Amino acid sequence: MARIVITRALPEAGIAALRRRHEVHVHDLGPHTGGDEDGLIAAAREAEALISMLDNPLTARVIEACPRLRVIAQYAVGYDNIDLEAARARGIVVTHTPGVLTDATADFTFALLLALARRLPEAERYVREGRFRRWETMLLLGMELRDKTLGIVGLGRIGAAVARRALAFGMRVVYHSRHRANPTVERMAAARYVSMDELLATSDVVSLHCPLNEQSRHLIDARALAKMKPTALLINTARGPVVDEAALVEALRAGRIAGAALDVYEREPEVHPGLLELDRVVLAPHLASATVETRTEMASMCARAVLAVLDGEEKIPYRLV
């Protein structure tokens, strides 16, 4: 039996196959709970397999301190927390969970957009605080989505799924990516490729779906925000550091954009205090993939990858390294 370490509790249905065949240890490693390098080393030092989370710092130091480690299965699509070269040098397989959370994240993106555009959090507070006295003609007027332009930054799986949903709401779709999408993807999403400057200047809603890398870090900064319409909304379900939160707070306070909805944060789980003070901001605790179906399948994907490595299979599903 191999020792498998999981750094956060997962849906049991997804990891049942691991428990039947191996020794599984579940920890709670994250910010403020031993999720630093030392805490991770202490938990995983004897592990042959590690199922990790996006906030686990799998640095070269951590990887070198786990001499028995054969596979890292990341419970996420992103993997910028893992030193892939250090894993490759050690011959450690690294996998992730691509594709599985596309629909859940696209649905949640639209949930955030609708909540922000129709001022739902403000309306809910209005009712709960006992201020609803009668129907008012000018109360909490929002923005309709029909005939508005949605600008998608990153037309990958999730971005394309968001674009398809936008069509059902009667929106026009433009997009920008580092590399132009396949023409078939463009046709299915009815999305027109534009420069980043044009996207910012013409979009009524800017929705972020790009990976986090050196090029995308603070992609939405003061300069980018200044190019947006004063009536525009910003949605981020990608990665927190894509947005300069201090610049966003300043833009919102100054009325340079109309609102923002965020599911991820620059220094997660810390949220910029300025965001907490503003009404035209919708904030969620990283919930885009939070459906029973998606989170269970993500656990199953990690389990399948771990078992393939431990069983010595030649083809490893969802492999990065």
Tell me whether residue 179 is one of the annotated catalytic residues: no
Residues ≥6 apart with Cβ < 8 Å to 304 = 17, 317, 318
Determine which one of 3, 21, 45, 286 is catalytic. Answer: 286
- Whether the Cβ atoms of residue 62 and residue 289 lie closer than 8 Å to each other: no
**Whether residue 268 lies in the annotated active site:** yes
35/278 Cα distance (integer angstroms)? 31
Name residue 99's amino acid. Answer: G
54-82: burial string, b at 16+ Cβ within 10 Å, e else: bbbbbbeebbebbeebbbbbbbbbebebb
CB neighbourhood size of 295 (10 A): 20
- If 0-12 CB within 10 Å is exposed, 13-18 middle and 19+ buried, where does residue 136 land? exposed
Is residue 239 annotated as a catalytic residue, yes or no?
yes
Catalytic: which of 8, 239, 272, 304? Answer: 239
The single-letter DSSP state of residue 242 is: G
Cβ-based neighbour number of residue 282 at 10 Å: 24
Catalytic residue among 48, 245, 268, 297: 268
Measured on CA atoms in the order 112, 116, 122, 128, is the torsion positive or negative? negative
Question: ∠ CA(239), CA(242), CA(243), 5° rounding?
Answer: 115
Which of the residues are catalytic? 239, 268, 286
